[in-house]
């Protein structure tokens, strides 16, 4: 490195390791960039350095980002550093760059010059249309399942003619995949996964084109490398060849998208494939105080499969991390809101405060507390609880049962889940209702009375609503919702979706909302209970949701928080089963992914970090008693300030009952703290069976959830 390069203006603000990364010559590099370490600055400075020192020209490099926003920001920063035009530069997302390449070489991939790109909803519509032509039963083969299969196979680089089905069901799905490929080719359209797969095949099958781009793009830069998929990495390898240089920036500790196909092992493969001599680590953090970073380091250090780094800051230790254990989820939410009001009074803007949660369903209790405190808020990257489609669908059934003249509710659910009622039939109902000045329900009843076949179409729907109405007579709202979720087909419908588990969790949380409503609301007229609850959901959904740019509290899942930063962060629901999520414990490397998720959450905080949990939490209409997250045990004591004096070793003892539950006649009750000679301390969370054959469910601090036979379990109450 010569002195003129060092004196370059845009290098003056970089630290020693950043300069080392930016100015590396004639070799591929892997930059392990920790959270808040200035990776965007390093990437843009690298581009500017390469151009400034005439190592390449602006059109001789290619830079891959994961969002269009990041690409625009990168180009803007480069123009601030150098007097150049960026119009001809290849900077963009994987899909954007592949689209650009396919437009140039459309003949080679047999695309029309004006091929159209299908977004996710367009793709689903195309699949539904195809299945109708093929006469495929959508109940046996849900269109979303087909979409998930097709996109999954394309992400793996597998065409329909290369896939080997393992059973008749999969064989049929693959047949639909094959017909879908033909349909897209015939109509001149491409879905998002197709852009990458077609571009990969273009380079793989055309030597001259591959060599052209290898000669052109001597320097390839990739942001968020830990989030690349297997096919994306294969595409990059083809593009780079043997003689070009890859500059990959990523953080294996922030790899949290395995469910989207992200492959953290790509970082280790890059080391071997491109003969990386030394990994450059960017460990100085410019975002957070040291207490926050030390907590993040301590947590992630428990993962075994990582490249390893240790974040630090020059800005001082900052405040200790505050930990609060609520008696219940409502107590937890109220504490958070009390702290937020205090912080706001001291001058912290609402927009600089974020509340993070592992599961979307957790937002309901938090939203209720926010609305009760009259504070503006925004759900980042998602919808408010009562505005989520699955919740609105369930409530629409309730609304129609409660009020048969509610045409909006009728139209929302008449064909959801799908039951073969088309647009033409709905038009006929609307015409009948208009002519006869009646509700759509009355019009539907008329059709039903004239049709002997009640197994399909409108007669089936009318009968379904009548059956649901009979089922919920004389039962609680919570039981009514449970019945509707199950017997309407909503639960089965969503379980077929790839993201269905989250939606079903939200539906089950609606049951909890009903239980809480009954327990906390004084209703003078019992007959109006359902009406009052529906009014409550409407009021809760419509209040205080802020627009982007307003000064408002930020609510989001931990996944949605990646890449963001806030002055103050609350990480909520830190209990085993929620964070880490219970599903992860049965998956290979699931716990390590959950720990990376916790690491991401912690490193969002700049100045203040709160860790909160609840001794009892209402889930799915039932009160559960919880054990603190194992991640809390991984944080050194000296970094924590326990606001309600509970020590790390304290297992939750006999929490206050926040909702009714059935008691066993046995001396050991739900919520009791016990010890077991093999598994140690735990909390009783449930029973199963009768007095003569009783099984007891226990959440142990170190061994997770166990079912034990009461007759043989040697349990001691504390």
Strand 640-642 versus strand 622-625 pairing type: unpaired
Residue with tokens 């077609």: 198
Tokens matching residue 449: 């009375």
Q: State how far the Cα of 37 lies from the Cα of 289, in Å rounded to an integer.
A: 13
How many whole angstroms separate alpha carbon 648 and alpha carbon 227? 34
Return d(Cα 684, Cα 687) in angstroms, integer: 8
The string of DSSP codes covering 582-600 is GGGGGSTTHHHHHHHHHHH
Give the Å distances, CA to CA, from 151 to 124, 469, 501, 675. Answer: 11, 40, 19, 48
| Strands annotated E in 69-223 | 90-93, 116-118, 189-191, 219-222
Dihedral sign for Cα atoms in the order 98, 103, 106, 111: positive
Neighbour count for residue 532 (Cβ, 10 Å): 16
Answer for the pair 397, 413: CB distance below 8 angstroms, yes or no.
Answer: yes
**187 preceded by cis ω (within 30°)?**
no
**Whether 155 contacts 261, CB under 8 Å:** yes
Provide the 3-class DSSP secondary structure of residue 541.
helix
- Tokens at 469, concatenated: 């109405």
Q: Measure Cα distances from 702 to 183, 633, 705 in Å.
A: 54, 11, 9
**Which of 455, 443, 451 lies closest to 419, judged by CA?**
455
Dihedral sign for Cα 385, 390, 392, 395, please: negative
Provide the token pair at 255: 């790899």
Q: Is the backbone of residue 355 left (phi > 0), alpha (psi -120 to 50) or beta?
A: beta
CB 78 within 8 A of CB 86: yes
Count how many residues are written for the chain. 718
3-state class (DSSP) for residue 90: strand
Rounded to a whole number, what is the largest CA-CA distance in the chain?
91
Q: How far is CA 212 from the centre of its chain?
A: 39
* Active-site residue set: 39-40, 223-224, 254, 604
Contacts of 275 by beta carbon, 8 Å cutoff, 6+ apart: 27, 28
Q: How far apart are CA 585 and CA 702, in angstroms?
A: 13
Alpha-helical regions (H) of 488-626: 490-495, 500-520, 529-542, 558-561, 590-602
**Which burial class, exposed, middle or buried, applies to 432 when counting CB atoms under 10 A from its CB (0-12, 13-18, 19+)?**
middle
Residues facing 686 on adjacent strands: 697
Q: Which two tokens stand for residue 316?
A: 């001082």
Q: What are the CA-CA distances from residue 518 to residues 310, 394, 598 (Å)?
A: 50, 18, 35
CB under 8 A, 24+ apart: contacts of 268-274:
268/307, 269/233, 270/28, 270/30, 270/225, 270/233, 270/246, 271/30, 273/237, 274/28, 274/240, 274/246
694 SS3 class: coil
């Amino acid at each position: 490195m010569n002195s003129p390069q060092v004196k370059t203006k845009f290098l003056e603000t970089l630290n020693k390791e950043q300069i080392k990364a930016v100015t590396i010559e004639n070799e591929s590099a892997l930059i392990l960039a920790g959270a808040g370490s200035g990776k965007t600055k390093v990437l843009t400075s690298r581009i500017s350095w390469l151009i400034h020192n005439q190592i390449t020209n602006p059109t001789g490099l290619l830079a891959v980002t994961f969002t269009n926003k990041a690409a625009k920001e990168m180009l803007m920063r480069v123009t601030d550093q150098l007097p150049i035009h960026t119009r001809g530069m290849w900077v963009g997302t994987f899909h954007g760059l592949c689209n650009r390449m396919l437009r140039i070489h459309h003949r080679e991939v047999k695309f029309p010059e004006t091929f159209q790109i299908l977004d996710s909803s367009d793709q689903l519509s195309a699949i539904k249309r195809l299945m109708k032509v093929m006469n495929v039963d959508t109940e046996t083969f849900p269109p979303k399942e087909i979409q998930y299969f097709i996109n999954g196979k394309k992400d793996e680089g597998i065409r329909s003619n290369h896939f080997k089905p393992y059973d008749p069901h999969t064989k049929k799905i693959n047949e639909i995949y094959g017909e879908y490929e033909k349909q897209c080719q015939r109509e001149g359209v491409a879905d998002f996964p197709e852009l990458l797969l077609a571009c990969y095949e273009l380079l793989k099958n055309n030597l001259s084109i591959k060599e052209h781009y290898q000669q052109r793009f001597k320097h390839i830069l990739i942001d968020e490398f830990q989030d690349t998929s297997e096919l994306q990495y294969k595409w990059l390898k083809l593009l780079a060849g043997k003689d070009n240089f890859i500059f990959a920036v990523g953080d294996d500790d922030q790899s949290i998208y395995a469910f989207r196909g992200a492959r953290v092992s790509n970082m280790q493969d890059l080391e071997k494939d491109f003969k990386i001599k030394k990994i450059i680590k960017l460990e100085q953090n410019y975002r957070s105080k040291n207490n926050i970073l030390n907590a993040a380091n301590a947590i992630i250090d428990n993962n075994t499969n990582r490249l390893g780094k240790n974040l630090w800051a020059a800005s001082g230790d900052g405040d200790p991390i505050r930990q609060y254990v609520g008696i219940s989820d409502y107590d937890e939410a109220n504490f958070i809101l009390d702290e937020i009001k205090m912080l706001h009074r001291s001058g912290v803007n609402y927009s600089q405060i974020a509340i993070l949660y592992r599961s979307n369903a957790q937002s309901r209790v938090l939203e209720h507390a926010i609305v009760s405190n009259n504070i503006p808020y925004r759900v980042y990257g998602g919808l408010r609880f009562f505005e989520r489609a699955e919740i609105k669908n369930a409530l629409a059934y309730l609304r129609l049962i409660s009020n048969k003249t509610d045409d909006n509710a009728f139209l929302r659910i008449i064909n959801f889940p799908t039951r073969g009622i088309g647009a033409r039939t709905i038009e006929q109902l609307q015409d009948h209702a208009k002519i006869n000045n009646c509700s759509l329900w009355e019009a539907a009843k008329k059709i039903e009375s004239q049709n002997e076949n009640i197994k399909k179409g409108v007669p089936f729907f009318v009968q379904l609503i009548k059956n649901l109405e009979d089922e919920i007579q004389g039962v609680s709202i919570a039981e009514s919702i449970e019945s509707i979720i199950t017997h309407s087909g909503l639960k089965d419908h969503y379980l077929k979706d790839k993201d269905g588990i989250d939606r079903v969790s939200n539906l089950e949380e609606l049951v909890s909302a009903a239980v809480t409503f009954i327990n906390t609301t004084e209703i003078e007229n019992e007959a109006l209970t359902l009406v009052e609850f529906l009014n409550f959901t409407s009021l809760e959904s419509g209040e205080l949701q802020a627009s982007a740019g307003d000064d408002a509290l930020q609510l989001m899942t931990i996944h949605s928080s990646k890449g963001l930063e806030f002055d103050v962060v609350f990480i909520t629901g830190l209990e085993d089963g929620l964070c880490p999520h219970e599903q992860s414990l049965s998956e290979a490397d699931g716990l390590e992914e959950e720990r990376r998720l916790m690491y991401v959450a912690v490193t969002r905080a700049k100045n203040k970090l709160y860790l909160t949990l609840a001794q009892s939490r209402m889930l799915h209409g039932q009160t559960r008693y919880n054990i603190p997250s194992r991640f809390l045990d991984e944080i050194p004591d000296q970094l924590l300030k326990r606001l309600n004096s509970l020590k790390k070793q304290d297992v939750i003892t006999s929490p206050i009952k926040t909702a009714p539950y059935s008691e066993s006649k046995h001396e050991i009750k739900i919520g009791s703290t016990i010890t077991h000679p093999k598994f140690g301390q735990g909390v009783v969370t449930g029973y199963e069976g009768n007095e003569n054959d009783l099984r007891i469910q226990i959440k142990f601090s170190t061994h997770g959830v166990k079912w034990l036979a009461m007759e043989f379990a040697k349990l001691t109450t504390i």
